[in-house]
Structure 1
Amino acid sequence: MVEFEELLELDLMHLLEAAPEVAAYRQQPVDISYPDDDALRKYTPDFEVLLTSGQFLYVEVKPQERLSDPEIARKLEAIRVQLERDEIRFEVLTCADIRRQPRLNNIRWLYRQAGTAPVTAGAADFGARRLAATGPHTIGSAHAALRGTGLDPAILILKGICACDLDHPVSFETPIHLAQENSHERFRISRRLGF
């Protein structure tokens, strides 16, 4: 069971890395004290996520079947209540949230296309302007339009500068466009989370 949770956490990290709404995150960041009947217990969330809005979010990753355990459900509710008192959002993500397909496979595909070279904000803005001037584009035609710049359209999608429909299989024929702030098309880790 632990290996399964670790793989879920790795998949969540892919999503966090690709979400423009996420400024930073860290694993097992802090210990939190919460009341549990007559005892004070400690809990360490799987992730602390800092959103670009400045809001913090603690995330627990659990396989769905573990949530039906009454003891785990009671513990998670006690933690949620304590964090709510501290004005910190708390979400429990399951396999269904994290491994929603084809979204997760699309993110993985984009990562393979994007490469590992770092991209500055200035370079990304330059790429966005070039695509705006020569569009509309598919991922393939955007790749050709960016030739010689060191940019790939996949990195612009992952940075939230460009957008495409991640709820359908992504390929070089997938249309892309410049993302609009707060657009419903911007990448979301989970529709349930709303960011």
Structure 2
Amino acid sequence: MRDFDESDPWRRARSVHGMAHYSGDYASATTSGQVVYESRLELARLLLADFDPSVCGIYAQPLRMVARIDGKVRSHVPDLLLVMGSGTVRVVNVKPASRLKDPEVAQALAWPGHLIERHGWEYEIWSGAEPVLLENVRFLAAYRHPGAVPADEVERAWQEVVDGEELALAERRLAGDREPEEARPALMALLWSGRLTTDLSAQPLSGECVLRRHG
């Protein structure tokens, strides 16, 4: 995937007054750089990719595909390319579920998938995730960058947290004589990194969430 390391997105996302789309740059913890997006839905998929510990590379609008389909020359720029630590490559197109009902849209997304899979890569058409999961990941994303929480506080929390205890109990125990909320950032950083896990799809993050040590 070194071929993509110095590549630029094929389209440069622009914010224009009155434009329906929501575009910008996402500061990725995985890449330690900016990744462009062109909609809130793309941003949601970026967040989940950045949160996924199996993802080691994220590239926006990574390539332009050109093929002759039914006698016509067609081109397509996928939204994302994800590289996994296992070496697997996944090309992702983000599209609202309502748009997939349009036969022309479905066809425009189908032929790139056939070529990508023939190349030995995975192909994903993504239309969203459970709202609770997305809100929890958005909250944890505030702790995604190294240094957002002092490293010594994170390591102390990692050494002292007990597998299977509830978040509120962990906060009280780690805080000692301080307010429990003061121990929270270190635990949130551990949840973002995947060293701690909890069920993020069942309910909003709360003191009742059960923490599990991982790794």
For Structure 1 versus Structure 2, the TM-score category normalised by the shorter chain is 0.7 to 0.9
How far apart, in 2, do the equivalents of 1:141 and 1:125 lie?
Answer: 18
- Equivalent residue number for residue 108 of structure 1: 138
Q: Secondary structure at the match of 1:48?
A: strand
Which residue identity does 2:96 align to in structure 1? P
How far apart, in 2, do the equivalents of 1:120 and 1:91 lie?
Answer: 37
Alignment counterpart, residue 94 of structure 2, candidates 58, 61, 69: 61
Size of the alignment, in residue pairs?
174
- 1:139 pairs with 2:167: yes
Identical aligned residues as a percent: 26
- Equivalent residue number for residue 3 of structure 1: 21
> Would the alpha carbon gap of residues 73 and 115 (structure 1) be closer, same or farther in structure 2, given more than 3 Å must change?
closer
Structure whose CA Rg is larger: 2
> Would the alpha carbon gap of residues 125 and 83 (structure 1) be closer, same or farther in structure 2, given more than 3 Å must change?
farther
- Equivalent residue number for residue 185 of structure 1: none
- Equivalent residue number for residue 83 of structure 1: 116
TM-score of the superposition, structure 2-length normalised? 0.68
- Identify unmatched segments of 5+ residues in structure 1: 181-195
> Would the alpha carbon gap of residues 115 and 48 (structure 1) be closer, same or farther in structure 2, given more than 3 Å must change?
closer
Higher RCO (CA < 8 A, seq sep 6+):
1
Conservation of the 8 A alpha-carbon contact between 1:36 and 1:75: no
Conservation of the 8 A alpha-carbon contact between 2:81 and 2:91: yes
- Identify unmatched segments of 5+ residues in structure 2: 1-18, 23-37, 176-181
> Would the alpha carbon gap of residues 129 and 106 (structure 1) be closer, same or farther in structure 2, given more than 3 Å must change?
same
TM-score of the superposition, structure 1-length normalised? 0.75
RMSD: 3.0
**How far does residue 41 in structure 1 lie from its aligned partner after superposition?**
2.3
